[in-house]
Amino acid sequence: MASKWARRLDMVAGRVDMTHGSGGKAMAQLVDELFIAALDNPLLARKNDNAVFELPAGRVVMTTDAYVVSPLFFPGGDIGSLAVHGTINDVAMAGARPLHLSAAFILEEGFPLADLRRIVESMAKASRDAGVGVVTGDTKVVEKGKGDGVFITTTGVGIVPPPVVSPSGDRARPGDVVIVSGTMGDHGVAILSSREGLAFETSIKSDSAALHRLVARMVEVVPDIHVLRDPTRGGLSATLNEIAQQSGVGMVISEESIPVRDEVTAACELLGLDPLHLANEGKLIAITDHRHADKLLATMRSDPLGREAAIIGHVAEDPNRFVQIKTTFGGTRILDWLVGEALPRIC
Amino acid sequence: MASKWARRLDMVAGRVDMTHGSGGKAMAQLVDELFIAALDNPLLARKNDNAVFELPAGRVVMTTDAYVVSPLFFPGGDIGSLAVHGTINDVAMAGARPLHLSAAFILEEGFPLADLRRIVESMAKASRDAGVGVVTGDTKVVEKGKGDGVFITTTGVGIVPPPVVSPSGDRARPGDVVIVSGTMGDHGVAILSSREGLAFETSIKSDSAALHRLVARMVEVVPDIHVLRDPTRGGLSATLNEIAQQSGVGMVISEESIPVRDEVTAACELLGLDPLHLANEGKLIAITDHRHADKLLATMRSDPLGREAAIIGHVAEDPNRFVQIKTTFGGTRILDWLVGEALPRIC
Dihedral in degrees, nearest 10, Cα atoms A316, A320, A321, A326: -60
pLDDT tens track for A16-26? 999 998 888 88
Q: Which residue has the higher pLDDT, B1 or A189?
A: A189
For residue B285, give the H/E element and its range. Answer: strand B285-288
CA distance A165 to chain B (A): 11
CA distances from B37 to B9, B32, B150, B302, B304 (A): 13, 6, 19, 36, 31
Our CA-based measurement puts residue A309 at a distance from the nearest CA of chain B, in whole angstroms, of 22
What stretches in chain A show pLDDT beneath 70?
Answer: 1-3, 196-199, 341-342
- pLDDT the model gives residue A259: 98
Checking if the pLDDT of B343 tops 90, the result is no
| Confidence (pLDDT) at B2 | 44
**pLDDT above 60: residue B270:** yes
**How big is chain A, counted in residues?**
347
The DSSP secondary-structure symbol of A272 reads T
pLDDT digits (tens, 9 = 90+) for B49-78: 899 999 888 899 999 999 999 999 999 999
Model confidence, pTM: 0.95
A302 three-state secondary structure = coil
Q: What is the rounded distance in angstroms from the CA atom of residue B241 to the CA atom of residue B340?
A: 14
Query: Is the Cβ of A281 closer than 8 Å to some Cβ of chain B?
Result: no
CA angle A79, A85, A107 (to 5 degrees): 30
A190 touches chain B (CB under 8 A): no
The pLDDT, as a whole number, for residue A197 is 67
Secondary structure class of A287 (helix, strand, coil): strand
Residue A73's pLDDT is what? 97
Angle between helices A186-194 and A262-271 (to 10 degrees): 50
A230–chain B nearest CA distance, Å: 9
pLDDT given for residue A341 in this prediction: 66
* CA–CA separation, B214 and B303 (whole Å): 6
- B169 at the A interface (CB within 8 A)? yes
- Bridge partners for A137 per DSSP: A103
Bridge partners of A97?
A159
What is the count of residue pairs from A and B with beta carbons less than 8 Å apart? 286
pLDDT for B199 equals 65
The pLDDT tens digits of the residues spanning B119-176 come to 999 999 999 999 999 999 999 999 999 999 999 999 999 999 887 778 999 999 999 9
Q: Which residues contact A38 (CB under 8 A, 6 or more apart)?
A: A117, A120, A121, A123, A124
Q: How many CB atoms lie within 10 A of CB A319?
A: 8
With a CB-CB cutoff of 8 Å, which residues 64-93 of chain B face chain A? 64-68, 90-91, 93
CA B74 – CA B119 distance, rounded (Å): 12
Bridge partners of A59, per DSSP, are A160, B54
Selecting from B47, B93, B229 the residue whose C-beta is nearest the C-beta of A246 gives B47
User: pLDDT tens across B167-196, in order?
Assistant: 999 999 999 999 999 999 999 999 988 886
Q: For B309, phi and psi rounded to 5 degrees?
A: -60, 150
Amino acid at B57: A
How far apart, in Å, do the first and last CA atoms of chain A sit?
Answer: 40
**Residues B207, B67 contacting (CB under 8 angstroms):** no
Alpha helices in B47-109 (DSSP H): 79-92
Buried b (16+ CB within 10 A) or exposed e, A69-107: bbebebbbbbbbbbbbbbbbbbbbbbbbbbbbbbbbbbb
Torsion sign over Cα A27, A33, A39, A41: positive
Query: Can you tell me the distance from the alpha carbon of B33 to that of B256, in angstroms, rounded to the nearest whole number?
Result: 51
Of A56, A210, A189, A60, nearest to A133 (Cα)? Answer: A210
Residue among B57, B238, B245 whose CB faces A57 most closely: B57
How would you classify the pairing of strands B77-78 and B73-74?
Answer: antiparallel
A65: nearest CB among B135, B138, B238:
B138
Chain A residues in contact with B50 (beta carbon < 8 A)? 61-63, 90-91, 93-94, 96
Between A113-130 and A79-92, two packed helices, what is the crossing angle to 10 degrees? Answer: 30
Check residue A344 and report its DSSP letter. Answer: S
Verify whether the Cβ–Cβ distance A63 to B148 is below 8 Å.
Answer: no
Residue B197: predicted pLDDT: 67
Instruction: Check residue B97 and give its pLDDT.
Output: 95
Reported in sequence order, the residue ranges of chain A that DSSP labels E, i.e. its strands, are 51-55, 58-67, 73-74, 77-78, 97-108, 133-142, 150-160, 177-180, 227-229, 250-254, 285-288, 310-316, 323-326, 332-334
Burial of B244 (0-12, 13-18, 19+ CB in 10 A): buried
Integer-rounded Cα Rg, in Å, for chain B is: 21
B196/B90: higher pLDDT: B90
DSSP letter at A167?
Answer: P
Interface of B with A in 116-155 (CB under 8 A): 135-143, 145-148, 151, 153, 155
Residues in contact with B47: Cβ distance below 8 Å, sequence separation at least 6, in sequence order: A169, A242, A246, B31, B36
Q: Do B242 and A47 touch (CB under 8 A)?
A: yes
Strand B310-316 and strand B227-229: the pairing is unpaired
Using an 8 Å CB-CB cutoff, list chain B residues near A18: 340, 344
Hey, is the C-beta of A243 within 8 angstroms of any chain B C-beta?
A: no
Asked if A151 and A82 count as a contact pair (C-beta separation under 8 A), the reply is no
Cα separation, A28 vs A22, whole angstroms: 9
- Minimal Cα distance from A347: which residue of B? B140
The sheet with strand A133-142 has its strands ordered as A133-142, A97-108, A150-160, A58-67, B51-55
Residue of chain A minimizing CA distance to B19 = A340
For chain A, what percentages of helix, strand and coil (3-state, to nearest 5) are there? 35, 25, 40
Q: Phi and psi of A274, rounded to 5°?
A: -110, 125
CB count within 10 Å of CB B202 equals 18
DSSP three-state, residue B288: strand
One-letter amino acid for residue B335 of the chain: L
- Residue A225 phi, psi (nearest 5): -70, 130
DSSP reduced 3-state for A19: helix
* Chain B interface, best mutation among A9, A63, A276, A320, by max B CB count within 10 A: A63
Chain B residues touching residue A339 (CB < 8 angstroms): 19, 24-26
- Kindly report the number of other CB atoms within 10 A of residue A128's CB atom: 14
A280 touches chain B (CB under 8 A): no
In DSSP terms, A108 is beta-bridged to A142
Amino acid B163: pLDDT: 79
d(CA A66, CA A152): 6
pLDDT of residue A1: 39
Chain A partners of B63 at a C-beta cutoff of 8 Å? 49-51, 102, 136
